[in-house]
Structure 1
Amino acid sequence: MMSLKTVQLLQKSFSAPLLSAACYYHKNVSVLIEKVSYLNVLFYVIDHYEHPRNVGSLDKDDPDVGTGIVGAPACGDVMKLQIKVDENGKIIDAKFKTFGCGSAIASSSLATEWVKGKSLSEAGKIKNQIIANELKLPPVKLHCSMLAEDAIKAALNDYKTRQEKKAKAVQ
């Protein structure tokens, strides 16, 4: 017997005829729930692709902004990720522009969501495997999550370089 929560989840994910067919063909409810979970993850990637968060640019001349631009020569994807850091070393905003496939756009969108509110050291710990696992990227698209990790690191390095120049200019 399925719980009410499981039935509600299935109703949200499938239309009634499709749900009936799915239940008929998959007598093992755990298999059906696993397929529904996979579809929800797939919708998560599509959502980040179709409705990317934090698209745009920050002021490149602002000394509190770090910019990372990375690319993948094999597929032509290019990713620009920017962070804005407050006086306490906390990332208060992040923007991106990505020219590439849906997985690259989704990885960029997710990366900007994750870096917001983090310290510089916390943001530096975001790894491509975590992004790939969250988005359930297939092996052929792992380079997209690697680009996101590299863009974060490049933005952090750019910010640190700008801060060093700013400190030298004050002296």
Structure 2
Amino acid sequence: MSGVPVDVLIRRIDPAVPLPSRAHPGDAGVDLVTTRDAELAPGERALLPTGIAIALPDGYAAFVHPRSGLAIHCGVAMVNAPGTVDAGYRGELKVILINLDPRETVRFRRFDRIAQLVVQQVETVRFHEVAELPGSARATGGFGSTGGHPGVQTPYAAVSPGGGADRKGQ
């Protein structure tokens, strides 16, 4: 990490919205707020506006992450976490929140913090099609193939490339 800040252009769609900022020195993300009041009943989701749009430099993307405090204290999660903001996107940043608490309604007020934004450099890739991939120690093992919680059994049958069910671990 170079420590040199990356310049990101920002436009306030809502002129009163505070600019995103870090809560503490060294934090990876900046706080995003909502610009409108909202109530989420148990199981309900909503698309909340942040009042800002950004222009990232080529080679960068921003990722919208959930806030851990909302998760533990209110049962609020992001439906598509993390949300990806591509360098070419110029629209308002919006956050899809869901209330996972089975009993309590969650209320958001204007300028409540609802997510955090992390800007990262991303690589441009070229794909090269091959008939076979090189081997590795992991091979095709995934979805709990390294073990898991002792009380959890695999609740599904993964379909193998040949079309049959892979019942490994059952």
Question: TM-score, normalised to structure 2's length?
Answer: 0.27
Relative to its length, the structure with more strand (as a share) is: 2
Relative to its length, the structure with more helix (as a share) is: 1
Question: TM-score, normalised to structure 1's length?
Answer: 0.27
